[in-house]
Copies of this chain bind each other. A is one copy, B any other.
Amino acid sequence: MARGAVEESIHRDIPLSAAMGTQVVVATPESVVLAAPLAPNVNHRATAFGGSVAALAMLAGWTLLDARLHETAIRAHTVVQAGDVRFLAPAKASLEAKAFAPEDEAWRRFLATLERWGRARLRLRVEVRSDGELVASLDAAYVSLTDGE
Q: Find A55's partner among B40, B55, B90 (CB 8 Å cutoff).
A: B55
Contacting pair B54 A83 (CB below 8 A)? yes
Which listed residue, B42, B59, B87, touches A14 by the CB 8 Å rule? B42
A44 and B81 contacting across the interface, CB-CB below 8 Å: no
Verify if A45 is at the interface (C-beta below 8 Å from B). yes
Query: What is the copy number of this chain in the assembly?
Result: 2
- Complex Cα distance A143/B51, Å? 15
Given the complex, which residues of B lie within 8 Å of A79, measured CB to CB?
45, 50, 87, 90
Distance (whole angstroms) from the CB of A92 to the closest CB of chain B: 13
Residues in chain A within 8 A of chain B (CB atoms)? 13-17, 19-20, 39-45, 49-52, 54-56, 58-59, 62, 77, 79-87, 90
